[in-house]
Amino acid sequence: MNLHDVPGAFNFRDVGGLPAGAGRTRSGVLFRSGNLGHLTAAGRERVTALGIRRVVDLRDDNERRSEPSRLDGLGIDTVHLPMYAGSVASFFDDDLSLADVYRALIDGSAARLVEAARAVLDVQPVLVHCTVGKDRTGLSVALVLAAAGVDEDAVIADYARTEQLLPLGRNESVLRFLRHRYPDARHLDDLVTRSPAAELRAVFDDLRLRYGGPVDYLQAHGLTEAEIGGLRRALVE
């Protein structure tokens, strides 16, 4: 799990090196990050140097308008797969917990989660991101890694690592704004700053109970055995 210094972006990392049975995930194939709306010239050069050919942007239209990705002119294919049926703001309005958010994603965005896996399979090197690279990115990448046969504990550890990589100044600024707007909300800290291992483990446990497991969930919503095999060949050495 290599962290990359990409000026203007944060939580930007390569998921190479994760154990997958007798193998490991390849480096330089699948990346994940927060949004690319503040890339500097040096950040754009770094993205180019990493050889990224496709970006999978999981943000909704309002998020993309607010912070458009600074990828113009780099020749990178962008796939837009907004994950939420409602807006991101609705989760703060409704004071949802992380568990509520993930259940909404699993139940409401299954087709998009499968499309995200296909987008990773079709073109590499590929970067998956949302606004922060925590929840939508965390769940999407976790399911792709699970489909590729990565050990579950390693998938969960990769998800949980995000919490350590979010800039403190960003966290404080966002929380100040949201606490002023939602003074009675109980889940702001978790929604803005946290990615506890227990949350993703609970998602996987729920998928085992309802579908047989995370890979079975993807198959139930259209991902084929051939596509799963393709992900394993592309991502694992």
For the chain, give the percent of residues with pLDDT over 70: 97
140 CB-near residues (< 8 Å, 6+ apart): 56, 58, 83, 113, 116, 117, 128
State the average pLDDT for the chain: 93
Sketch the domain layout of the chain as residue ranges: 2-235
For residue 88, pLDDT over 90 is answered with no
Residues 42-83: tens digit of each pLDDT: 999 999 999 999 999 999 988 899 999 999 999 999 999 998
Mean pLDDT within 182-187: 85
- Do the beta carbons of residue 15 and residue 145 sit within 8 Å? yes
- Are β-strands 30-33 and 54-57 bridged in parallel, bridged antiparallel, or unpaired? unpaired
Quickly name the fold that domain 2-235 has: Protein-Tyrosine Phosphatase; Chain A (3.90.190)
Selecting among 39, 105, 121, 130, the annotated active-site residue is 130
User: What band does 27 get if pLDDT is binned at 50, 70 and 90?
Assistant: very high
Q: Which residues contact 74 (CB under 8 A, 6 or more apart)?
A: 44, 47, 48
- The proportion of the chain whose per-residue pLDDT surpasses 90, expressed as a percent, equals 80
Inform me whether the pLDDT recorded for 11 exceeds 70.
Answer: yes
- How many CB atoms within 10 Å of residue 237? 12
Please report the pLDDT score of residue 91 as a whole number: 73
Whether 130 is a known active-site residue: answer yes
What's the pLDDT at 86? 55
Give the model confidence (pLDDT) of 109-159 as tens digits. Answer: 999 999 999 999 999 999 999 999 999 999 999 999 999 999 999 999 999
What is the structure's pLDDT at 92? Answer: 75
> Token digits for 62?
């309002």
CB 137 within 8 A of CB 58: yes
pTM: predicted TM-score of the whole model, two decimal places: 0.94
pLDDT confidence band for 1 (50 / 70 / 90): low
pLDDT at 106 over 60: yes
